[in-house]
Amino acid sequence: MAKLSVAQVDLAGKRVFLRVDFNVPLKDGRVSDDTRITAALPTLRHCLDHGASVVIASHLGRPKGKPDPAFSLAPVGAHLEGLLGRPVPLAPDCVGPETERLAEALAPGQVLLLENLRFHAEEEANDEAFARGLAALADVYVDDAFAAAHRAHASIEAITHFLKPAAAGLLMSRELEALARIFEHPKRPLLAVLGGAKVSDKLALVESLLDKVDGLLVGGGMAFTFLAALGHDVGRSLLERDRIEAARQALDRARARGITVRLPVDVVAASGVDAASGRPVSVREIPRELMGLDIGEGTVTQFAAALKSAATIVWNGPMGVFEKPPFAAGTLGVARAVAASGAFSVIGGGDTIAAVQAAGVTERIGYISTAGGAFLEFLEGRVLPGVAALTDAT
């Protein structure tokens, strides 16, 4: 986890290849949410303030390995110009003679934005020749795209074989430091809160967490497969019957290791996600014609009591169909409980971030990860190619 930081690199007079995650939503040809752009600004400004010129690289959308004007980074460059207060010209491509000429002409303090990396199929193929072409544009590699760190792509992994040092940007460094605080040297008790729809998406994560945490709180649709493993009739709730035995085995392993797994004791049930309202029921009494769409007040109270005793909390996934107002209370309640716990908390995932924002507790969360897939894969204990490729700190 200890990787060289851009703050440790002499950047004066150097050209920096800065890999960022500018995969932002566009509406009517304009950036509609610049969260990912602003997150990378500290690293970009650090490079410029320390005498470097910067070649910025990112992907946008899924253009299927060929140029597509709908996925051009031109709107991103225009938005970035306004934020930086300096020109951000867009190269016609991310590799090739003309792009090399533009990069070589950069003076300290100047910026060049490369066109969408995914206009070349070689990017996702982690192609070495393509990576050499990218590496030819700069003297130093800096990766500030933790959200893409789980992908072995040319601009993330292969490029580091040809362009060194390969340093972590300031955002990447903060992500790694926060994640290290969870698993490398956490204050205990360490509790994990898991939600989301399918248990099949989280079984590997549950297995990994059982080796690391002191307690596990499970909500969302995935909880019903665990409840079924305990013998509960869950009505029409989301249930993966082919995962019931795996869920039972996970509960047995947790019990053998002395790890408490807390499941919902009550839910808000309704006929479907479009129902105007739901009614609270015990998990022992879910009507056969209804489905559980949120955790109930009793579960929120029990989860909050458990979280109050934690020293470190990691949370991924909503407790119910959070996007529907009748079924948002459980997720909001857990968000407020995490914020009020006094623990160092790390959250990741778009729905989880939206929940803490909706609950008005963003400032009371220890760290909010910008990543989705990379965050989950790290929690599962997988090696992230984009992290492994960086130069180790000395």
List active site positions: 36, 198, 350, 373
Nearest residue to 300 via CA among 281, 325, 319: 319
Listed in sequence order, the residues at least 6 apart from 98 whose beta carbon sits closer than 8 Å to its beta carbon are 91, 92
For residues 70-108, one letter each, b for 16 or more C-beta atoms within 10 angstroms of the residue's C-beta and e for the rest, the string is ebbbebbbebbeeeeeeebebbebbbeeebeebbeebeb
What's the DSSP call for residue 335?
H
Q: Report the alpha-carbon distance of residue 110 to residue 106 in Å, rounded.
A: 6
Q: Report the alpha-carbon distance of residue 237 to residue 288 in Å, rounded.
A: 9
Nearest residue to 75 via CA among 121, 143, 26, 109: 26
Order of strands, edge to edge, in the sheet holding 279-282?
Answer: 279-282, 266-270, 291-295
Q: Report the alpha-carbon distance of residue 151 to residue 386 in Å, rounded.
A: 7
Q: Report the alpha-carbon distance of residue 170 to residue 181 in Å, rounded.
A: 17
For residues 303-313, one letter each, b for 16 or more C-beta atoms within 10 angstroms of the residue's C-beta and e for the rest, the string is bbebbeebebb
Q: Report the alpha-carbon distance of residue 103 to residue 6 in Å, rounded.
A: 20
Q: Report the alpha-carbon distance of residue 209 to residue 59 in Å, rounded.
A: 31
